[in-house]
Amino acid sequence: RRVLVLHGPNLNWLGKREPHIYGVTTLAEINELICNKAKALGLEADCFQSNHEGALIDAVQQADGRYECLIINPAAFTHYSFALRDALAAVSLPVIEVHLSNIYSREEFRRHSVIAPVVVGQISGFGSASYLLALEAAAVLLRKEGD
């Protein structure tokens, strides 16, 4: 069972980017945690980061048929990318939205996600553990589908 984990813009700078909000764990470390957690759950995870909207949309389209679940932290695209939302709505695989920070406790513009209406669910506010909780959610979803 294969899961694709997508990271949006500026997440390549995790560790040095506003560490008081996003923590000191780097993206490479998070990806390692993700791969280990996936294995423990009997899943296989691939991770991809891009600062470019089009590259993320290409990755979403290419995931269709190749993966069973998509986990995405759309970063700032969360708040305004209708193109990314349309891509996520178009693919047949279930999508889980992830945020390191609690987007509802921050600036007004972060409190709205244009992505949320097209995902199965959202996990927000648990730092790098948000991704690991999303993997747990993916395992639950895929087990249900297998029933």
- Catalytic site residues? 22, 99
Q: Which range in 31-39, 71-79, 80-88, 138-146 contacts ligand DQA by CB under 6 A?
A: 71-79
In the complex with ligand DQA, the residue whose CB is nearer, 31 or 78, is 78
Q: Binding pattern to ligand DQA, positions 8-47, x when CB under 6 A?
A: --x-------------------------------------
Other beta carbons within 10 Å of 13: 14
Binding of ligand DQA by 76 (CB under 6 A):
yes
Which tokens hold the place of 47? 């991770």
| Amino acid residing at 133 | L
Distance CA 2, CA 131 (A): 15
Residue 100 binding ligand DQA, by CB under 6 A: yes
Choices 37-45, 55-63, 94-102, 136-144 (CB under 6 A): range interacting with ligand DQA: 94-102
Answer yes or no: is 147 a known binding residue: no
Cα pseudo-dihedral 3, 93, 41, 73, rounded to 10: 60
Judged by CB, which is closer to ligand DQA: 21, or 90?
21
Residues in the chain: 147
Strands 44-49 and 2-7: parallel
DSSP state of 65: T
134 binds ligand DQA (CB under 6 A): no
